[in-house]
Structures are given as structure tokens and as C-alpha cells.
């Protein structure tokens, strides 16, 4: 059914994607003929399986709305333009629901019917090329972010390894408080669990750019999409690009999480060591002062 023919909702309507209920929709709230609301349950956004995670494009399809019909959409503080269905954000994984909410709410503004009709008159093939090109650019942007994060992670890994190997000077061993040493060793032990995570991410980020699927898609972009040569199996290529984009988003998200964890643990071990050094220096100074006082009395 065309959206313009859709009756305004009187209650939330369940939406399905691949025979599974994924969200609810409210069509034309308050009689506004160009508005659509979605609400996605929190638990539906927390699935681990990447193939089951949702994008804005998935929600629109479940509501029988094409990406080209979208003028803009907003979720939380994020605002995006539809860009005639070429905005790569349409294929980005939906973010988690706010901590204090049971659902993620999304407000969609659609184009007036006249604009949609004008768009339909454009070359469908050119629109497909633009959408595929935009998706590839989004993938390249994610890969730059992943590679930057990989380099930062490698530097952080070296800092963590150095922090774990750091030893006390003779004076620090003699003067350090036992409680400070215990806290320092606990912090070092936690880093031992984080180091494998950082090494694994560095390996995965390095390997990601060389997978055969990625190279094949790059060749398709260079040989068909950029020169605008008719593309066989365009739906399959679109699906593969979308899957690759989702994989890159997940990899970047996981890397960011590991980096923040490692950075926090490194800061903790540095704080513990600084406290140990400061207290050891104060204690050594007190011992020397006491020794001098004792010498005076003798």
C-alpha cells in the first residue's frame, strides 16, 4: 500500500522483518500525512548476531516505505536527511535505546507526494548507482576510522606491556607501603586480561582490509559502479555492500570498547604506581629525617 493511502493510526502497529516482529509504527500521528513514528524495543537492539541487527532501511521496508520517500529522520539528538535514499546512515546499525527508556523512538518525515513523483521520473539505474556509491564511501570512511583506531590501539598495547614490566627501584622496594604494592599488582593483573583483547583487535583490523570479499567488491566499484556500467546481480551486490558495512560498524564499535577499557586500566595502573612512588618517597624521607635526629642525640 502507498503511504499516502495509509489510514492514520489509532494504536501502535506491529512491524515484521523476515517473519519476526521487530518494532511498532504509528502512521500519520495527529493526522499529519507526512509523518511516521517507530519505536524499537530495547532488547531488539541488543542482539549479538550481526545478521539480526537492524538498520533504518530495515524499519522502512517493514513499514512498506521506500528510502527515496524519506525527507529526514531523527532519533534522540541525531538528525539525518534522506538524500533521495542515498544517505549511508540509512544502512547504519541502529544505536542502543537510552538508558532510561524501554524503546528507541524514531521520528520520520516523508516527502510530499509531488516530490516523490518527480524523483520516480529520474533514472532508476542512476539512483541505484548513487546508492551503491554512497554505501562504498561509508565503508571506506569506516575503514579509515578502524585503521586509525588500530594504530592507537597498538601504541596503547605497547604502553600497557611496558607498565606491566615496570619494576620498583631498590629504595622503592624498601620504603613502599605493602598496601600500595598490593593495589599496584592488582592493577597489573587486570591489564594482563586486557592485553589479549587489544592484540586480537589489532589482528582483526589488519586482516579486515585484505579479505577476498572486500577485494571483489572494490573491483565491482571500480569496474562497474564508478564508470556507470550496467551491473549484473545488482541486488546481490547491494546486499553484500550492506553486510560489509555492518561488519565494519561492529568491528569499529568493538574496537572502541576495547580501547576505552584498556585506556582505563592503564590509567588505573599509572595512578597506583604514582601513589606507591609518592608514599615510598615520603616514607624514605621520614626515615632519613628520623636517622638524622637520632644522630644528633648521640
Residues 89 and 77 in one domain: yes
Q: Which residues contact 280 (CB under 8 A, 6 or more apart)?
A: 171, 172, 175, 176, 177, 180
pTM, rounded to two decimals: 0.61
More reliable by pLDDT, 297 or 137: 137
Q: Which residues contact 193 (CB under 8 A, 6 or more apart)?
A: none
Residue 85 pLDDT grade (very low, low, confident, very high; cuts 50, 70, 90): confident
- In percent, how much of the chain has pLDDT > 70? 93
Residues 189 and 63 in one domain: no
Q: Where a domain ends, among 88, 122, 156?
A: 122
* pLDDT value for 117: 58
* pLDDT value for 35: 92
Helices (H), the chain: 56-62, 113-120, 124-165, 170-175, 178-208, 212-220, 234-297
CA distance 102 to 197: 31
Residues 37 and 142 in one domain: no
231: helix, strand or coil: coil
Residue range 166-174: mean pLDDT, rounded: 90
* pLDDT value for 203: 95
- CB neighbour class for 37 (10 Å; exposed up to 12, middle 13-18, buried from 19): middle
CA distance 156 to 138: 27
C-alpha cell at position 95? 544505536
C-alpha cell at position 128? 541505484
Residues 185 and 268 in one domain: yes
Q: pLDDT tens-digit profile of 124-134?
A: 777 788 889 88
Residue 293 pLDDT grade (very low, low, confident, very high; cuts 50, 70, 90): low
* pLDDT value for 127: 78
C-alpha cell at position 282? 615520603
Residue 144 has, within 13 A of its CA and on its CB side, a CA count of 5
Residue range 70-78: mean pLDDT, rounded: 88
CA distance 149 to 256: 7
Q: pLDDT tens-digit profile of 26-38?
A: 999 888 888 999 9
Residues present in the chain in total: 298
Helix axes 124-165 and 234-297, enclosed angle (nearest 10):
20
Q: pLDDT tens-digit profile of 220-277?
A: 999 999 888 888 788 899 999 999 999 999 999 999 999 999 999 999 999 999 999 9
Residue 287 pLDDT grade (very low, low, confident, very high; cuts 50, 70, 90): confident
- In percent, how much of the chain has pLDDT > 90? 52
Residues 139 and 173 in one domain: yes
Owning domain of residue 71: 3-122
* pLDDT value for 11: 92
Q: pLDDT tens-digit profile of 47-67?
A: 767 778 899 999 999 998 988
Residues 94 and 105 in one domain: yes
Q: Where a domain ends, among 75, 107, 122?
A: 122
CA distance 290 to 298: 13
Q: pLDDT tens-digit profile of 88-121?
A: 889 888 988 888 889 999 999 998 876 655 555 4
Query: What does pLDDT average to over the chain?
Result: 88
Residues 220 and 111 in one domain: no
Q: Where a domain ends, among 97, 122, 147?
A: 122
Amino acid at each position: 500500500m502507498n503511504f499516502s493511502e495509509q489510514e492514520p493510526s489509532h494504536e501502535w502497529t506491529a512491524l515484521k522483518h523476515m517473519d519476526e516482529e521487530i518494532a511498532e509504527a504509528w502512521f500519520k500521528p495527529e493526522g499529519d500525512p507526512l509523518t511516521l513514528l517507530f519505536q524499537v524495543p530495547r532488547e531488539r537492539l541488543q542482539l549479538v548476531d550481526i545478521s539480526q541487527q537492524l538498520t533504518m532501511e530495515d524499519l522502512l521496508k517493514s513499514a512498506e516505505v521506500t528510502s527515496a520517500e524519506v525527507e529526514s529522520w531523527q532519533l534522540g539528538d541525531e538528525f539525518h536527511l534522506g538524500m533521495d535514499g542515498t544517505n549511508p546512515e540509512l544502512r547504519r546499525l541502529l544505536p542502543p535505546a537510552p538508558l532510561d527508556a524501554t524503546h528507541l523512538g524514531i521520528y520520520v518525515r516523508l516527502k510530499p507526494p509531488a516530490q516523490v513523483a518527480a524523483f520516480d521520473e529520474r533514472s532508476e539505474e542512476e539512483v541505484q548507482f548513487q546508492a551503491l556509491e554512497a554505501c562504498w564511501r561509508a565503508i571506506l570512511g569506516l575503514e579509515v576510522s578502524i585503521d586509525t583506531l588500530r594504530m592507537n590501539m597498538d601504541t596503547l598495547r605497547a604502553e600497557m606491556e611496558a607498565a606491566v614490566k615496570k619494576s620498583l627501584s631498590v629504595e622503592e622496594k624498601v620504603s613502599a607501603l605493602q598496601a600500595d604494592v598490593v593495589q599496584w599488582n592488582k592493577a597489573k593483573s587486570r591489564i594482563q586480561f586486557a592485553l589479549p583483547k587489544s592484540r586480537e583487535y589489532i589482528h582483526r583490523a589488519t586482516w579486515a582490509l585484505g579479505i577476498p570479499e572486500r577485494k571483489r567488491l572494490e573491483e565491482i566499484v571500480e569496474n562497474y559502479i564508478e564508470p556507470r556500467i550496467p551491473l549484473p546481480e545488482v541486488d546481490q551486490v547491494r546486499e553484500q555492500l550492506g553486510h560489509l558495512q555492518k561488519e565494519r560498524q561492529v568491528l569499529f564499535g568493538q574496537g572502541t570498547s576495547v580501547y576505552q577499557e584498556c585506556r582505563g586500566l592503564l590509567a588505573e595502573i599509572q595512578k597506583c604506581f604514582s601513589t606507591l612512588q609518592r608514599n615510598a618517597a615520603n616514607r624514605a624521607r621520614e626515615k632519613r629525617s628520623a636517622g638524622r635526629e637520632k644522630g644528633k642525640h648521640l
